[in-house]
Structure 1
Amino acid sequence: MDKEQQNDSPGLYPEGGWKANSVVIGSFCSIMGGLGLMNSIGIYQAWISTHQLESMSAGQIGWIFGIYNFLIFFCGIQIGPIFDAKGPRALMLVGSILIILTLILVGFCRVYWHFLVVIGILGGMGTSFIFIVPVASIGHFFYRRRGAATGLALSGGSIGGVIFPLVLEYLAPKIGFAWATRVIALITLILLIPGCILVQSNFPPKPSLSSKREILPDLTILKDPLLALTTLGVFFIEWGFFIPLEYVVSYSLAHGMSRRLAYLTIVFFNAGSFPGRWLPGIMADKIGRFNTLILTNVLCLIAVLAVWMPASGNVAATVIFAVVFGFASGSNISLVPVCVGELCSTESYGRFYTTVYTIVSLGALTGVPIAGEIIHRCQGAYWGLIAFAGCSYAAGLVCFIVVRFMQERKGKKGDRTIPLADTE
């Protein structure tokens, strides 16, 4: 973002102390509550498709969650410049209110448009605030230890993704779906309060950063083939990522697993994602960020095509898939932004990030509805959906490999405009 390079001196960052560590604590709590819905969204998809909306096709229901995924990215890229201009407090409050409203109102939803508005629009917008603001605040307090601090905070989302499915699975049969979601809303509220209190900024607001140049995407930057291929690769992997996250529970139910065991697949997914959000970041500092992104996406591809595809409902294979894919895909959140940062100068990062994720949000919008329609065309079988997810990851992997190859060629020719060293 404009003038952001002024804050690039490591001496401006506390790297610890009560104030900085309290921001990490507040971010951890708020992400645990705020991204709990995102990381357990497969439970809600499975429930409403077998209860309130059981008469509707998987493709139609998929648009609810496609819009939810789309707004997480699309609204989030607009929140960043507002954060720079106004600080985090008001944004945290707005996001927290929207998430609590979503969890309360979803219990009153009965027809399609209710879920579209509540989960798709309110839930997507609310999650986008908690997805962006706490992480951006950590960046104000940590420079050398930014990866470790951010990974620790983001791991809270995986813990929320373990807790909330267990709560819903245990309470829904006893007190009903509506009251179970209200209990989750109460837990979420308790977790969001420390975030609203503790998350703060370390630098003074910079209103000039809210200029249109930073907020609006700039498609002309895609003339750079490295950035264009990276954007395309991220588009493909986001196409693939949300499919297992949102359909693994339905897949398990369709293959005869008990409801309890099917719901636990999301728990296994998030258990794997917990170390997957911070261990690859540590590895990236040693072997390179694009290299690590390639390796984790190879693991995603293997998990989808070599484990999930032949599983055919086998319990052990499905659990192994959930854990492995959760670990490998968990790295995307932390690695993609820093990989984009390697392709531009610091002062241009806001514009590049906005452009990339504006395009990627379209993949998040369409991936789940396409997968739902594939299930419909395959008469309820899941092999087509799994193949689609696998092909998406394969396409993204090819893009990243080509980018890395082009980086190497530029390095050998002495062109250092694209940094090959993985430094902050």
Structure 2
Amino acid sequence: MSCGGRSSSSAHGTLTAQSDLEKEKNLGGTSTSLSHLEGPIGPPDGGRDAWMTVAGTWMIQFCTYGYSSAFGVYQDFYTRDYLKNQTPSDISWIGSFQLFMMYAPGILVGNLFDRGYFHHMVAVGSILQVFSMFMLSLTQRGQYYQIFLAQAVGMGLGQSLLFLPSVSIIGQHFKNRRALATGIAVSGASVGGIIWPIMLNKLGQRAVFANGIRATASMTAALLLIANLMVKTRPFVRPQGSQPHRPDFKSIVSDTAYTVSVASAFCISLGLFFPFFYLQLYAVDKGISKELAFYAVAILNSGSVMGRLLPNFFADKFGPYNMIIPCLAISSILAFSMFGIGDFPGVTVFGILYGFWSGSYVSLIPSLLAQLTTNMAEIGTRMGIAFSIAGVSLLIGTPIEGALLHAHDGSYAWYRSIILCGVMTMCGAVGMVISRFLFVRRGGGGERGQRV
């Protein structure tokens, strides 16, 4: 990933100054290695700054995607109490629009990242998210528009300035171990998906739910402050008189392997996140006690902790495609297994397994997009385009599933939403198989010594 800038070629020049050479050596590179690179100095695959950035990104993921993963608690609370005058589909629009806002500005955010505004975005995003969380705690019962503005719009926009930049920055520090480093970083989202639901449920039981939101907002503020101090960008070496790289949008759009993978991600986002929104409500509807059902979302996210680590470790050895395709296929099969859930042990087993395999996809997709990027100076833009398109399906996916839940007799028709979840995820798996074929055919992987 790059904020712009290119290395000098052996035929046309030298580095601008001796100080740039010294920077490169300090980062673990050599001057001879720069002659064939385009973009930033080669990633050092380790070092203090690299692992501090991973730790800082972990905290950002914990506070952004991790908090969004706890929306199942809000879905259940709003449906049964705070917004009981609204349908489940209406309420799910809050969570889906929050995810949409987190992903949709990706093109703009990615371009700003490539231009070097990483720290600016992370700082502004931190302030906006914390402010919106406190505003959410001040909303009034039954006032849908207040909750929508604070949670869907405010928090979603703040998270958009945090989520994509924090994922993209890993590529500046890692190459050969990029998938593993990304997996470690995004595992913060899974841990957040465990901690936040338990905190919200427990605090909501012992006190006013608004106080639980304020407690989580205070914790978020502290973690994001630390994260802002920990994440690091890396300096770039560029030939004298060279201009910052401008993304070639025509080349990006004409990259068929990339466009097919983005289309696949669109299908996947339509269905994959259904359990994260509705599993707690599903458990309550099946007669499981509320005290146990409250742990459904936390169990789901606990499974994704290892799901975001183990497959990423093997992805560095066998390639992201070879890991992401079976993960999606298994997630699809597990989605249909929801038909057999009737008690809390069933919820537990499903949650752990589905969390593991679906979490693998979420952590592997950034590494896959990075591998598809031919010029690392465009990594932010490419991820931004992909995330923006996926954001549209995240916006409409769970509300569609919520609308499908309604039966004529007033009960929940779960089978329709479950089928949509499984089918869309499988369509995404098939699309990734096609994308892999196109990537290999154009010479990807073998040409650059990479596994696919």
TM score, norm. by length of structure 2: 0.83
Aligned counterpart in structure 2 of residue 37 of structure 1, from 67, 89, 95: 67
Please tell me whether the aligned partners of residues 269 and 326 of structure 1 are also in contact (alpha carbons under 8 angstroms): yes
The corresponding residue for 1:25 is 55
Please tell me whether the aligned partners of residues 240 and 367 of structure 1 are also in contact (alpha carbons under 8 angstroms): yes
The corresponding residue for 2:172 is 140
Aligned counterpart in structure 2 of residue 291 of structure 1, from 300, 310, 322: 322
Aligned counterpart in structure 1 of residue 209 of structure 2, from 174, 177, 180: 177
The corresponding residue for 1:118 is 150
Q: How much does 1:62 deviate?
A: 2.0
Please tell me whether the aligned partners of residues 30 and 192 of structure 1 are also in contact (alpha carbons under 8 angstroms): yes
For residues 15-94 of structure 1, the aligned pairs below 5 Å read 15-94=45-124
Q: How much does 1:340 deviate?
A: 3.2
The alignment of Structure 1 onto Structure 2 pairs a total of residues equal to: 413
Instruction: Tell me how large the CA RMSD over aligned residues is.
Output: 2.8
Q: How much does 1:41 deviate?
A: 1.4
Q: Which moved more, 1:340-349 or 1:225-234?
A: 340-349
CA distance in structure 2 between the aligned counterparts of 1:54 and 1:262, rounded to whole angstroms = 19
CA distance in structure 2 between the aligned counterparts of 1:417 and 1:285, rounded to whole angstroms = 15
For residues 331-370 of structure 1, the aligned pairs below 5 Å read 331-346=360-375, 347-370=377-400
Q: How much does 1:150 deviate?
A: 2.1
For residues 22-421 of structure 1, the aligned pairs below 5 Å read 22-110=52-140, 111-203=143-235, 213=247, 218=249, 221-222=252-253, 224-305=255-336, 307-311=337-341, 313-346=342-375, 347-377=377-407, 379-407=411-439, 410=441, 415-416=442-443
Please tell me whether the aligned partners of residues 256 and 438 of structure 2 are also in contact (alpha carbons under 8 angstroms): no
2:151 maps to amino acid:
I
1:164-216, CA deviations, whole angstroms, 9 ceiling, x for partnerless residues?
111111111211100011111111112111111111211259997696x57xx
Q: Is the partner of 1:51 in helix, strand or coil?
A: helix
CA distance in structure 2 between the aligned counterparts of 1:402 and 1:367, rounded to whole angstroms = 23
2:315 maps to amino acid:
A
Q: How much does 1:14 deviate?
A: 3.9
Distance 1:208 1:130, change over 3 A: farther
Structure with higher helix content? 1
Identity %: 27
CA distance in structure 2 between the aligned counterparts of 1:19 and 1:63, rounded to whole angstroms = 39
Please tell me whether the aligned partners of residues 197 and 298 of structure 2 are also in contact (alpha carbons under 8 angstroms): yes
Please tell me whether the aligned partners of residues 176 and 316 of structure 2 are also in contact (alpha carbons under 8 angstroms): no
Distance 1:327 1:112, change over 3 A: same
Q: Which moved more, 1:39-48 or 1:224-233?
A: 224-233
CA distance in structure 1 between the aligned counterparts of 2:262 and 2:96, rounded to whole angstroms = 19
Distance 1:210 1:251, change over 3 A: farther
Q: How much does 1:55 deviate?
A: 1.3
State the structure with more CA Rg. 2
CA distance in structure 1 between the aligned counterparts of 2:46 and 2:57, rounded to whole angstroms = 15
Which ranges of structure 2 fall in alignment gaps of 5 or more residues?
A: 8-36
Which ranges of structure 1 fall in alignment gaps of 5 or more residues?
A: none
The corresponding residue for 1:422 is 450
Please tell me whether the aligned partners of residues 87 and 200 of structure 1 are also in contact (alpha carbons under 8 angstroms): no
TM score, norm. by length of structure 1: 0.88
Structure 1 runs of 4+ aligned residues shifted over 6 Å read: 205-208
